[in-house]
Structure 1
Amino acid sequence: MKLKLPAEVNFIIKKLNDQSFEAYIVGGCVRDILLLKEPKDWDICTNALPQMVTDIFKSFCKVIPTGAKHGTVTLLLNKKHFEVTTYRIDGAYSDFRRPDSISFTSSIEEDLSRRDFTINAMAYNPSKGLIDPHGGQRDLSKKVINCVGDPEHRLFEDYLRALRAVRFSCQLEFEISPATSASIKRHNDLIIHISKERIREEFIKILLSTVPEKGVKIFIEYGLLFYIIPELIYVAESPLFLKSLKALGYSPADLITRLAIILYPVRHANKKPANALKYLRFDNDTAVSVSNILDCAMALPSLSMKAVKKFMTKAGIQNLDMLFDLLTANAKAADDNSEELLYIENLKDKCSGIIKEKEPLTLKDLDIDGNDIKALGVVEGKKIGKLLNTLLDIVLDEPKLNDKEILKNILKDKFI
């Protein structure tokens, strides 16, 4: 078997081989090549110790000691990063996350035995071919996710592997083996040992996969969903939640949109979606955007121009595309959706027309500001704000009135 490798990878392997060291590409990049996918990262493993790797390459490229304690150095070649890691054996995992200790080994087979899944436990060298002691190639052909060795042992080392199994199942559209599934279910309470940040990152990758609804269903089956988004416990058996799962399949792979879809039933039940996002340590901007989109989705306007403009102002122009993606996905997930889809299309057209004509929508768009009103003799801040909002309401009805002198005259004639 001959696999095509980038020039930089061949260079690294050759330099190590020239110094009588073994070197293989390993893990996800081997898996991806065998699946005819372009690897995102290229990882190399070797029996050379970190200092030896540094000594060999320091005259050829920048060497970064990214994880030297765990045997990893990073080589910067042609502005690309390549991690080179010494074969190692992991000690016990007392914190369910990281090994308490590691020891280096001269055996590639021992190194592969510590890895999570068989499809990630393969190595390749151009002269020696594929090293596959755990049947990774077989499981790729069967489209199955299998733990390396005993699933119980693998999951007790780091239960994040349970979420990774679900993620790979969604990204690759594979099934999780019965033995691995049974262990994940049996020990689902181990998820409490995983940081919210690590859970969030896996959850994001699942949501952005080709079949996000599959991942959520697996979380339900394994009893994990309520550890991840506790707010869903109130709605998980509702028809609306099942509709939201279906809607995920109709949505573009956008994080804000898919978070809004999965949390739509939470907002519909008058709960706060932002709480779920804060629980998983999402940033405030994401929480605000998702909450804003859901608030608008719960209060759709009539198709009058003024109502549409107020709707746009509330949603924020930057959120409109995601909001319409949410509305469209929800509509497509319904059985009788022709009228709903027509309404969404009409609303979208009106919004597009308003944006194209650059009609005023917010206080910033007014051709008058607080200083102009102060010049008319109004000094109280609250009153100035109230007058500006009154003028905006007028301009939403009649955009042609958005002229400083006209607005001043309106204030003098009717409000001052």
Structure 2
Amino acid sequence: MRAMYEIPKFIVDICKEFKANGYEAYVVGGALRDLLLGKESNDWDITTNALPEEMSRIFRGIIPYGDFGTMLLIRNGVKIEITPFRNDAPGRKPTYKMGGTIYTDLSRRDFTINSMAYDPIDDVFIDPYKGLEDLKNRIIRCTGSTRRIWEDPLRAIRAARFQAQLGFSIENSTYYALVAHKQELSTISKERIRDELNKLLLSPYARDGLYTLVITGLMEYIIPELMDGMGLEQIGSHVYDVLEHNLVACIMAPPVLHIRLAALLHDIGKPYTVFEDESGRHFYGHEYKSTEIASKVLRRLKYPNDIINKVLLLVKNHMFTYNHQSTLSAARRLVAKLGWDGVYDLIELRKADRMAGGAKVLLGKSLEKLIKDLEVIKNQENAFTVKDLKIDGNDLKARFGLKEGPIIGQVLKYLLEIVLDHPEKNRYGDLIMLAREYLKSKEGLQEKQSN
């Protein structure tokens, strides 16, 4: 078996230790599949007939990890998941039972390409469901029966995810099963769905996986709001309806989670803002409706706040205007609003949006000018937030006798607006003079006399 020579020594040593104590041990799962595909892997899984308490007696530092009796062992900085054989009865969500043989364990796994096992000590390869053949033919097929999928409905998304990761085709009966029982996905936790969606979105063949989710109807149980864009044609150079435009923009975006999510959701509000007149079809203000819907989607799927905030900032601002007449102050204001990372993320989103809208070139003249202007202001001394100003709230209180309250924030915000247009005014003396003028306009506020 060729994989024998590519399995790391620390994995072989673990299997040897099991054998020395009278137990079986097999390499299974994604790592074995990757080895057979000639890929490197750090995602190692071992299955054994040893029970968790028996593993604890053999290995120092092994700990319980997740469900199904899985134990975690760390070797060479790599996490190895070790799971006892499963011996479940077939059926929907069976009660987990440890025991049985390697054959009963493999029979419970989702797809044939994941239902293989290898003993690196005795050089025994076990493949009762012809997973190796399906691997060679680039096919995703249920193990034994299409009922395998609906024993855990998350496997439906996993089928699309493996398609996205590997570029394989889904076998016809398996594909049919995705459609026939798609409603079962409503029983799965949002967190598990989110995790599978993330893996799919960041995969090299994400297009295939996304289209499978849409065509099978699984997307109706993941982001149903996206489906409202199906068949809604756009105007101008757009070659796709709203739904497919979102899908293609997502695929065109770089494989960074918050950028791909923003691309997938950036026009999700268009079906709710469609307006037609004699000049054609319009979607006025759709970026704000898209932001509102995207917020609901991301919170429903339990995304962390930092991802939510990044996505919403991009969706809300994806219709930004920048052209040959835009000044450096416009570039500074974009940085002030989004931060440096956010501005470049927004550029990536705009590029994906352009390509999904039928543009012939990745960068138009406006984007080229923005990128050049950003390089200019990057090499200047600029203030983009109130923290960058040469004075702060304490200076205002000391100089003008102000008390803690909203007025301090108002003054600093006003000063920042001036400095964004005139960065040379970010000097203490200039800012004090500008603050004095602002406060006088507010009436009744007197400057303290300084010594």
Among residues 128, 139, 143, which one is paired with 2:138 in the alignment? 143
Q: Residues 234-282 of structure 1: CA distance to partner in whole angstroms, max 9, x if unpaired?
A: 3233323322322233221100100010001124532411111111111
Give how far 1:380 is off: 7.0
Tell me, yes or no, if structure 1 residue 243 matches structure 2 residue 245.
yes
State the partner residue of 1:198.
192
State the partner residue of 1:231.
225
State the partner residue of 1:392.
416
Tell me, yes or no, if structure 1 residue 172 matches structure 2 residue 166.
yes
State the partner residue of 2:448.
none
- Range with bigger deviation, 385-394 or 85-94: 85-94
1:343 and 1:77 mapped to 2: Cα distance? 52
Q: Percent identity?
A: 36
Q: Secondary structure at the match of 1:133?
A: coil
Distance 1:104 1:398, change over 3 A: same
1:79 and 1:44 mapped to 2: Cα distance? 16
Distance 1:90 1:284, change over 3 A: same
Runs of 4+ in 1 over 4 A off after TM superposition: 337-340
Give how far 1:316 is off: 2.2
Contact 1:92 1:101 in 2 (8 A): no
Q: Secondary structure at the match of 2:230?
A: coil
Q: Where in structure 2 are there 5+ consecutive unaligned residues?
A: 233-240, 271-285, 441-451
Contact 1:296 1:314 in 2 (8 A): no
1:70 and 1:214 mapped to 2: Cα distance? 31
Q: Secondary structure at the match of 1:282?
A: coil
Matching of residues 303-342 of structure 1 within 5 Å: 303-338=326-361, 341-342=364-365
Matching of residues 14-413 of structure 1 within 5 Å: 14-55=16-57, 57-58=58-59, 61-66=60-65, 70-91=68-89, 96=93, 99-105=94-100, 107-126=101-120, 127-151=122-146, 153-238=147-232, 239-268=241-270, 269=286, 270-271=289-290, 272=292, 273-302=294-323, 303-338=326-361, 341-374=364-397, 375-379=399-403, 381-413=405-437
Q: Residues 332-367 of structure 1: CA distance to partner in whole angstroms, max 9, x if unpaired?
A: 233344496221121122123212213112211111
1:83 and 1:104 mapped to 2: Cα distance? 17
Distance 1:393 1:88, change over 3 A: closer
The TM-score normalised by the length of structure 2 is 0.84
Contact 1:199 1:228 in 2 (8 A): yes
Q: Secondary structure at the match of 2:391?
A: coil
Contact 2:70 2:83 in 1 (8 A): yes
Give how far 1:124 is off: 0.7
Instruction: Give 2:266's aligned amino acid.
Output: Y
Q: Residues 45-69 of structure 1: CA distance to partner in whole angstroms, max 9, x if unpaired?
A: 22233333333x24xx3222336x8
2:264 and 2:341 mapped to 1: Cα distance? 20
Q: Residues 112-171 of structure 1: CA distance to partner in whole angstroms, max 9, x if unpaired?
A: 1111100000011232431100000000011010010111x2122100000100000000
Q: How many matched pairs?
A: 407
Instruction: Give 2:86's aligned amino acid.
Output: R
Q: Secondary structure at the match of 1:104?
A: coil
Q: Secondary structure at the match of 2:71?
A: strand
Instruction: Give 1:405's aligned amino acid.
Output: G
Give how far 1:91 is off: 3.7
Q: Secondary structure at the match of 1:299?
A: coil
Contact 1:247 1:333 in 2 (8 A): yes
Give how far 1:384 is off: 2.9
Instruction: Give 1:262's aligned amino acid.
Output: L
Distance 1:361 1:191, change over 3 A: same
Q: Secondary structure at the match of 1:257?
A: helix
Instruction: Give 1:202's aligned amino acid.
Output: E
Contact 1:301 1:311 in 2 (8 A): no
Distance 1:241 1:347, change over 3 A: farther
Instruction: Give 1:16's aligned amino acid.
Output: F
Q: Secondary structure at the match of 2:302?
A: coil
2:41 and 2:260 mapped to 1: Cα distance? 25
Q: Secondary structure at the match of 2:252?
A: coil
Distance 1:408 1:138, change over 3 A: same
State the partner residue of 1:5.
7
Q: Residues 3-49 of structure 1: CA distance to partner in whole angstroms, max 9, x if unpaired?
A: 22111111122222233432211122211100111122222222233
Instruction: Give 1:118's aligned amino acid.
Output: T
Q: Secondary structure at the match of 1:265?
A: coil
Q: Where in structure 1 are there 5+ consecutive unaligned residues?
A: none
Distance 1:360 1:8, change over 3 A: same
Contact 1:43 1:83 in 2 (8 A): yes
